[in-house]
Each structure stands twice: as structure tokens, then as C-alpha cells.
Copies of this chain bind each other. A is one copy, B any other.
Amino acid sequence: MNVSHSRSAEPASGGARRRSEDTRSAILAVARERFATDGYDRATIRAIAKDARIDPSMVMRYYGNKEGLFAAAVSVDLSMPDLAALPRADAGQALVTHFLGMWEENEVLTALLRVGVTNSAGAERMQSVFRDQLVPVARAVCPDPEQAAARAGLCAAQLLGLALTRYVLRFPPAVGLAREEIVAWLAPTLQRYLTAPSP
């Protein structure tokens, strides 16, 4: 509650930056790791604080409570490419490639998936990412915009399923596939979900 955000626009470079900014971001970094590997419940405030080499009470002072920490740690920007600017037939391939890059870039998406499965706040956040960032892209490519949500849902199912088996459950066959193989297999699927006439 009494977290003070009352600083006016820090100079980004040179100036004597407050130490707290470093610890704040250090907390976020280790929190992301913990949420990604342990899920919400097992990612305890104490464990996160220990990783960040500070006292658990600091986490509370900076982020209010555990929910606040999670909200701050896991904010997803898929930075989706504009599929409408591509040749229509390349949409599927562009989508898989982009997603694979996002998943391997950092652990935020893994954290979100692990938490979303057991924690309702996490699930809602996943849903908002889907609604605000994936569906609009589908709307730009789909033949009938009214079907955009359903088609985006099918794409999400395929992409999240791959992420689940590969990055979370670590099924050996899913882990063993090379990126190009995944793209080659999934691109036609997504292409069909996005642009094929509904069956």
C-alpha cells in the first residue's frame, strides 16, 4: 500500500540512480525465473528474496504483496508482426517463427503458462494477452472478421500446446525437434486455421 512511486522522471543516464531501482529490477528478474520454474505457489517470497540476496520484507515494501509482484514480474508484449503486410500465404510461417523466438527469448511466457494453469489471476492474464494481442492479428488476416476469435483460438491451441510439451513438460520428442522442423510442421496448420474456408 505505502509503496512510494513519488519520484519524478529519473535521468536515465549518468545521474546518481537510486539503489532501489537496481534491487527492484533484480527482484523482478529472479521472480520471473522462480515463477517460470516453480509456478505460483512454490515460488515463495522467501525464495525469491533469497535469490535476490535481500530480505523478504523488501519484496513486500516494493510490490505490496505477492499478487502485485506477480503482476509486475509477468507483463507480456508479444510484439506481433503485422501479418497483413506479408504475402497472405506466409502468415502461418511468420506466426510460428515469431512465437518460437518469443518463447526462447526469455522466461516470461513460460512463467505465465506455468502460473496460468493453477492460478486464476494468471489465467486471466493469459486470456487478456490472447484477446488483446493475438486476436487482432488474426482479424487482419482472416477472411471473415467474425471468425477471427475462433481461428485465433485454434492457433493458440496449437502454439500453446507446442510450448507446453516442449518448454514445460519437456516431452523428449518435442524437445528434440529443431526449430526449422517445428516451423515446417506447424506453419501449414496455422495457415489453414487462419485463412482456409471454415470446414
Copies of this subunit: 2
Residue of A116, A170, A174 with most chain B CB atoms under a 10 A cut-off: A174
Segment from A3-11, A23-31, A45-53, A151-159 that makes contact with B: A151-159
Q: Per-residue 0/1 for A153-184: is the Cβ within 8 Å of any B Cβ (1 yes, 0 no)?
A: 11011111110111011111110110001001
A97 within 8 A of B: no
Given contacts A153-B172, A181-B199, 13 further A-B contacts (CB under 8 A): A39-B39, A39-B117, A41-B118, A116-B169, A117-B118, A117-B164, A117-B168, A127-B171, A130-B171, A150-B176, A154-B185, A156-B171, A157-B166
- Of the A-B pairs whose beta carbons lie under 8 Å apart in the complex, a sample of 22, sorted by A's number, is A39-B118, A42-B118, A114-B117, A116-B169, A117-B117, A118-B118, A123-B170, A126-B169, A127-B171, A149-B172, A149-B173, A150-B173, A153-B171, A153-B172, A157-B158, A157-B161, A158-B158, A158-B161, A158-B189, A160-B164, A161-B164, A189-B189
